[in-house]
Chains A and B, each alone.
Chain A
């Protein structure tokens, strides 16, 4: 098996789906155990995938059934996919451990529907995410996105209360709007170019009206699924209403999948379309998301809603990479500029690395924050920010984890968030787009503001004793702390991330030459 590393791509897809089917057969009592046993295996596969991609120094490709595109459908793992697959399994694994007791069936008690649903959907989510990261075909990606949506929405309304059901329904309607627009775009591309394979499209797409229309439809559709401002209305109630373990996965991973697809579309499938105007529009929406999300987060009364609005804001940073990779003057990829080739290569790499690092460190930090908020809500019986005074005395590890994760979101050194924002800032200065630097810095200040609202009373509140309604298991606190530490420690590995992100990029330097 190991002679051909591209078999890993198939394994990464088969493992969660096999687990899901097995869980449905054996029922909720054992579903959790199956999921937890599969996660180390999945981690091993993801690590092997990363190692194989680095060793091959190129993307791994697996043609399903031995049929090459355009007749067949291919799976493809480049450096970016490998990083996201590893992040996914890490966050899903931590979520599994965190949720182990919450969704288990005690011996002698009847099996609950919630427990089976949670574990089956967690596995389905995992499989769907891997499919999004590995597919190299716009229609497979559509199916993957739909799988992801269908497994994410029931997680939102797992408790079946009216509020969360309404949030789930609203999420579903936004997601359907997004997926149908995406499909319409894919259909237009097929009509114009006769293929849906990303690799083939990248050489065929020309800047012409049909391609522009398709790109616009697909981007708007995916924006709705990513909850980019102004299509973010569904996110806060959905993510804040879900159980803590579910919100962690939804906020950390699910919205990143559609974002990953936007990046794939613009840089891999349609590199000829990528121009400064489109990049500036995307980044403007990102900047609006940062400011709007942060200001709304400042005004929230409940901790989970605050964290959800913070997700709206942090997603914005990821859209800032577009103008930093595509420079305003040259009209093509930054790296294609012959005169400043050396400097431009550095710019393009730092924007790429900054964006990926932001996505990964936000995934860890946001998962940690939602789980910490879940523990706080469980032990206090509420999550009203006004009544969180001195909670740091009662739950020191949880609050420490929340603070560390917050540090990464704010971008304080030496966290992963700092490294990401530093790389993005460097890229803004080097490409001469200082206005995006202001947005990044302003966003950091606002993030500091809304986290201070939570942390200042939590750590330095005047109350002497806090009565906890329910004790919090130590191992769950440790999981949260480990996630937060991952997010902080990512700040130290950024030099290694440079090369991996670039491996297997379809649009390498020079491809965008006019």
Chain B
């Protein structure tokens, strides 16, 4: 029978994999932001698993990773907020859904939009 720690560990691996795939492959910024959150959740879950595994004598779990996960969540939340704010502002400015493909000429050549 598979143990809880292994189960959660494997789930975190799946989350990390899905998140990385989405972050790299998906051209739409909103999906990239969501994928980043998925990836982040995977990392935090992994940290929780490590906390559980590394529990000292008489403790349920190692408290250090939990403190770090809370900080990490705050940082990830702030990052998501900043990204969504930028995306909304960009949508207001251009009025269209944006893709951040490397081939997108409007991103690669800001020359036109940058002339005063």
Binding site for B on A (CB under 8 A): 139, 142-143, 146, 149-150, 153-154, 157, 160-170, 172-173, 176-177, 179-180, 183-184, 187-188, 190-191, 194, 233, 237, 240-241, 301-302, 305, 381-382
Given contacts A146-B75, A170-B107, A177-B24, 14 further A-B contacts (CB under 8 A): A157-B89, A163-B106, A163-B114, A169-B29, A173-B100, A176-B36, A177-B36, A183-B40, A184-B43, A187-B47, A190-B64, A190-B68, A237-B108, A301-B111
Question: Do the beta carbons of A143 and B75 come within 8 Å of each other?
Answer: yes
Question: Do the beta carbons of B54 and A166 come within 8 Å of each other?
Answer: no
Interface string of B85-111 (1 = CB under 8 A from A): 011011001100010101000111011
Q: CA of A303 to CA of B39 in the docked complex: distance in angstroms?
A: 38
Q: CA of A165 to CA of B71 in the docked complex: distance in angstroms?
A: 27
Closest residue of chain A to B64 (Cβ to Cβ) is A190
Residues of A within 8 A of B43 (CB): 180, 183-184, 187
Residues of B within 8 A of A173 (CB): 23, 29, 32-33, 36, 83, 100
Residues of A within 8 A of B29 (CB): 169, 173
Residue in contact with A166 in the complex, picked from B19, B40, B79, B98, CB distance below 8 Å: B98
Residues of A within 8 A of B19 (CB): 180
A–B complex contacts, Cβ < 8 Å, 5 sampled:
A172-B83, A173-B36, A183-B40, A187-B43, A191-B53
Residues of B within 8 A of A233 (CB): 102
Residues of A within 8 A of B64 (CB): 190
B116 near A: Cβ within 8 Å? yes
Residues of B within 8 A of A302 (CB): 111, 114
Known: A143-B71, A173-B29, A173-B32. A167 touches B89 (CB 8 A): no
Binding site for A on B (CB under 8 A): 16, 19, 23-24, 29, 32-33, 36, 39-40, 43, 46-47, 50, 53-54, 64-65, 68, 71-72, 75-76, 78-79, 82-83, 86-87, 89-90, 93-94, 98, 100, 102, 106-108, 110-116
Residue in contact with B114 in the complex, picked from A149, A184, A240, CB distance below 8 Å: A240
Residues of A within 8 A of B98 (CB): 166, 169
A-B pairs, top 3 by smallest CB distance, nearest first, are: A163-B113, A163-B110, A191-B50
Closest residue of chain B to A377 (Cβ to Cβ) is B116
Least CB distance from A87 to B in Å reads 27
Residues of A within 8 A of B36 (CB): 173, 176-177, 180
Q: CA of A190 to CA of B67 in the docked complex: distance in angstroms?
A: 13
Residue in contact with A169 in the complex, picked from B53, B87, B111, B113, CB distance below 8 Å: B87
Closest residue of chain A to B96 (Cβ to Cβ) is A162
Known: A161-B93, A237-B108. A172 touches B82 (CB 8 A): yes
Question: Do the beta carbons of A191 and B94 come within 8 Å of each other?
Answer: no
**Count, A-B residue pairs, CB within 8 A:** 120
Q: CA of A87 to CA of B46 in the docked complex: distance in angstroms?
A: 38
Residues of B within 8 A of A305 (CB): 111
Question: Do the beta carbons of A169 and B114 come within 8 Å of each other?
Answer: no
Residues of A within 8 A of B94 (CB): 162
Least CB distance from B7 to A in Å reads 16
Residues of B within 8 A of A153 (CB): 82, 86
Q: CA of A157 to CA of B82 in the docked complex: distance in angstroms?
A: 12
Known: A173-B100, A187-B50. A166 touches B90 (CB 8 A): yes
Known: A170-B107, A191-B50. A162 touches B93 (CB 8 A): yes
Question: Do the beta carbons of A382 and B116 come within 8 Å of each other?
Answer: yes
Residues of A within 8 A of B115 (CB): 382
Known: A166-B106, A176-B36, A241-B114. A139 touches B78 (CB 8 A): no
Closest residue of chain B to A168 (Cβ to Cβ) is B86
Q: CA of A153 to CA of B64 in the docked complex: distance in angstroms?
A: 30
Closest residue of chain B to A177 (Cβ to Cβ) is B23
Least CB distance from A136 to B in Å reads 16
Question: Do the beta carbons of B72 and A183 come within 8 Å of each other?
Answer: yes
Question: Do the beta carbons of B90 and A139 come within 8 Å of each other?
Answer: no
Least CB distance from A383 to B in Å reads 9
Which of A180, A194, A240 has the largest number of chain B CB atoms within 10 A? A180
Question: Do the beta carbons of B106 and A184 come within 8 Å of each other?
Answer: no
Least CB distance from B65 to A in Å reads 7
Least CB distance from B46 to A in Å reads 6
Residues of B within 8 A of A157 (CB): 86, 89
Least CB distance from A83 to B in Å reads 28
Least CB distance from A411 to B in Å reads 29
Q: CA of A149 to CA of B114 in the docked complex: distance in angstroms?
A: 23
Least CB distance from B89 to A in Å reads 6
Residues of A within 8 A of B16 (CB): 184
Residues of B within 8 A of A169 (CB): 29, 83, 86-87, 90, 98, 100
Least CB distance from B73 to A in Å reads 11
Residues of A within 8 A of B100 (CB): 166, 169-170, 173
